[in-house]
Structure 1
């Protein structure tokens, strides 16, 4: 008894998306519509924030700012 399950998406839609993605000549991790946000913007924001906090910490250490007594 083998029952054939219908596919999640129609075959035409899959072929259409495959053609779209294969025609784009970008890196594979930047092919979707929101991939620039997740692959570029978030890491850049995290790096900028961490550099700012490291710089602020070095400044505070060197000037003795923010000490608890």
Structure 2
């Protein structure tokens, strides 16, 4: 005997169709489609790059001037 087990979906089908239409009609890059994607895809990497460049520059300056050497 074959029984089908049905469980309710996580979201209503209408909401899924609405979100699919929204994301398919946006003409942005795929990694910038969500509301907070600019923060995670742009701002955080730029902040990490700026911090690392500052620390590299400070290290080169300190090495060239002999600052912070251990005796």
Give the TM-score taking structure 2 as reference length.
0.93
The 3-state SS of whatever aligns with 2:38 is: helix
Q: Report the alpha carbon displacement of residue 2 of structure 1 after superposing the two structures with TM.
A: 1.7
Q: Is 1:12 aligned to 2:19, yes or no?
A: no
| Alignment partner of 2:65 out of 59, 63, 66 | 63
Give the TM-score taking structure 1 as reference length.
0.96
Q: 2:23, 2:68 → 1: CA distance?
A: 53
Runs of 4+ in 1 over 4 A off after TM superposition: none
- Return 5+ residue gaps in structure 2 as ranges: none
Matches within 5 A, 1:1-69: 1-69=3-71
Q: Report the alpha carbon displacement of residue 3 of structure 1 after superposing the two structures with TM.
A: 1.1
The structure having more radius of gyration, on CA atoms, is 2
- Return 5+ residue gaps in structure 1 as ranges: none
